[in-house]
Amino acid sequence: MPRDIEKQEADLFELYADDPDRADEVVFGRVPHDDRRGFLRGAGLASMGALLGAAIPFHRNMPAGFIPEALAAEPVKIEGKDGLTILNDRPVNAETPPHLLDDAVTPTARHFIRNNGIPPEDTDPKTWKLKIDGLVNSPMDLTIDDLKQKFEVVTHRLTIECGGNGRSFFDPPARGNQWTLGAVGCSEWTGVRLADVLKAAGVKDNVVYTAHVGADEHLSGNPDKLPISRGVPIAKAMNPYNLIAFGMNGGALHPMNGAPLRLVVPGWPGSCSQKWLTRVWLRDTVHDGPKMTGSSYRVPKYPVAPGQKVPKKDFEIIEAMPVKSLITSPKTGLKTSDRTLTVRGHAWSGDNAVSSVDVSIDFGATWMKADLAKPHNPYAWQQWSAEIKFPMNGYYEVWVRATDDAGQSQPFAIAWNPKGYLNNSMHRISVTVA
Amino acid sequence: MSARKWTGALVCAAALAWGWLAATPAGFTQSAVASDETDFQGMPPGKGREETFYACVVCHSMRLVTQQGLSRDRWDEAIDWMVEEQDMPELEPADRALIVDYLAEFYGPDRKADTQSTQ
């Protein structure tokens, strides 16, 4: 589809998002009858019909303020996102193909989305409130302006990866969104340090764990039920790189990435970074909110065979994400006549830094060291690149493998686990030289 | 725009489009249901398809289901989890059997539905 048409459609959605009735009038000159159906004036009906290329026999029934299906070419389109693969539309889950993750700082339009519930309707940053309570000396209710005034505002590049990134490669398959490679991103986040806010509230000595609460609604519609509420051990919570974030890449947070306020707890499963954040509650026990218990965001304590049944008591909570790397250029499937090729991408590792990246073009028999940049700041993914020389024409796979400063590296095979988490097996792309 | 409004708009729009194609005088709400019945979001035809569709789409889109490839046991566990933890209403035993059979048949580890989808 030509770019300008795509843009038009995005604008159409934006208009209808802001004020559907007004959009009706602006786009089609449409004013509905008092019952909010049909077209009061003929002009609107004629222009909508002209765009659709057909008359609308049941126009009197047509509700006010929505976009005709025929104009909404894509069944699912997310405003402000570009090129994402949509895995699910209710709740919204979308990932970014690796070649669209080439930027050192992931643009907002390319940051993946993992929703567990339905995002809140009212996201006005002026009235948004955050509560800090539980085992603190002085509980606090803060607006976003309070956060900006009372605490130092900082900006960091922070890697967030979904715990289930790579799940689709599990065999036997594991239940959940079938993420391939792109449920990861490293945007520039602006906010205040979670640690500063907790210190101001006064963390009591018996605190063990945080509990995070967001304003999204449970899929069942039950208003008393939270879709997800996870937390982290207090030691991790006090890390200075965790942010209560209100800015993303110099702008506002994207609505699907938690606007107007979210946690960013880099290096740990994305689910620790509660979106639409309304409350951080300090507890004297490991938090037991939805998706903290059972087998959610947990893996067996011991290695298991693919498909093995594991009793619930043998699962443990995932903490830091494992070392991993991605080839973001070229896109897999490249056909080239050039025997020299530059490959590049990113590498990251939970709470650690990456110390080396190697690439192979012979299915892992030999490896060559890639150039690796230092992280822009801790928890930012690191850029690597390598110049490859292909010895002859033919089919090649380029494999990449990162090693972190704790000496941990990436496996070729998946360490299978029942819920499909932590797949850090090596990324590979195909290149045909002809 | 919130996801709920947004999904709602799309469902309405889809219903409208179907209304035109079928050229029936059906009311707006009825055509929304009919639209879903027409394509079942790409689920292959089979015994239990309708029961499965309606049990799932109350809370989430079929896309969450059609991505999966689970054995009968794992589908059974998934339903237990949804009932126990996600406020899913308990299914009638006969319906549950139909649904689990349908899911295991088309959305088992071999992902048979991928080659039989109606879309």
Is the Cβ of B81 closer than 8 Å to some Cβ of chain A? Answer: yes
| Closest approach of A132 to chain B, Cα-based (Å) | 26
Q: Are B69 and A118 a contacting pair at CB < 8 A? A: no
CA distance B117 to chain A (A): 17
In which band, very low, low, confident or very high, does the pLDDT at A33 lie, cut at 50, 70 and 90? Answer: low
∠ CA A276-A277-A282 to the nearest 5 degrees? 160
Q: Which of residues 21-80 of B touch A (CB under 8 A)?
A: 23, 25, 27-28, 58-61, 63-64, 67-71, 74, 78
B88 in A contact zone (CB under 8 Å) = yes
ipTM of the complex: 0.75
Q: Do B85 and A294 touch (CB under 8 A)?
A: yes
Cβ of residue A173 closer than 8 Å to a chain B Cβ: yes
Show which of residues 37-56 on chain A sit within 8 Å of chain B, judged by CB atoms: 54, 56
What residue has token string 């895995």?
Answer: A87
User: In this predicted structure, what is the pLDDT of residue A5?
Assistant: 40
Length of chain B: 119
CB pairs under 8 A between A and B: 111
Cα dihedral A45, A47, A48, A54 sign: positive
Q: A233 versus B12: which is more confidently predicted?
A: A233
* Closest CA in chain B for residue A15: B1
Residue A264 scores a pLDDT above 50: yes
| Average pLDDT of chain A, as a whole number | 90
Q: What is the rounded distance in angstroms from the CA atom of residue A388 to the CA atom of residue A400?
A: 12
What mean pLDDT comes out for the span A142-146?
98
CA distances from A273 to A158, A242, A262, B60 (A): 11, 9, 7, 23
| Domains of chain B listed by start with CATH number | 1-39 (no CATH), 43-119 (1.10.760.10)
pLDDT of residue B3: 38
In DSSP notation, A51-96 reads HHTS--TTGGGPBTT---GGG--SSS--TT--SPEEEEETTEEEE-
Half-sphere exposure of A29 (CA within 13 A, CB side): 11
Reduced to 3 states, what is the DSSP secondary structure of residue A105? Answer: coil
In the chain, the amino acid numbered A330 is P
Give pLDDT, residue B13.
Answer: 36
**What CATH number has the domain spanning A89-317?**
3.90.420.10
For residue A32, what pLDDT is reported? 66
Measure Cα distances from A12 to A7, A68, A76, A155 in Å. Answer: 9, 11, 14, 33
What residues does A281 pair with on adjacent strands?
A133, A211
What are the residue boundaries of the structural domains of chain A, listed by start? 3-71, 89-317, 323-433
pLDDT tier at A30 (50, 70, 90 boundaries)?
low
Query: Tokens at residue B59, please?
Result: 């809370």
Put simply, the answer to whether B109 touches A54 (Cβ < 8 Å) is no
Inter-chain CB proximity A91 and B3 less than 8 Å: yes
Output the pLDDT for position A42.
54
What is the structure's pLDDT at A7?
A: 43
**Option in B61, B87, B88 nearest A89 (CB):** B61
CA distance A221 to chain B (A): 8
A323-433 folds as: Immunoglobulin-like (2.60.40)
Best of A219, A257, A275, A293 to substitute, by most chain B Cβ atoms within 10 angstroms, is A219
pLDDT of residue A170: 97
Interface contact flag, A225 B87, Cβ < 8 Å: yes
- Distances, alpha carbon A325 to alpha carbons A61, A230, A383, in Å: 53, 26, 9
Partnered with residue A210 across adjacent β-strands are A282
Res. B11 pLDDT band, cuts 50 70 90: very low
Give chain B's mean pLDDT.
Answer: 73
pLDDT score for A27: 56
For position B31, what pLDDT does the model report?
33
Minimal-distance CA residue of chain A relative to B108: A173
Does the beta-carbon distance from B68 to A57 stay under 8 Å?
A: no
Task: State mean pLDDT over A414-424.
Answer: 97
Q: Indicate if the pLDDT at residue B109 is higher than 70.
A: yes
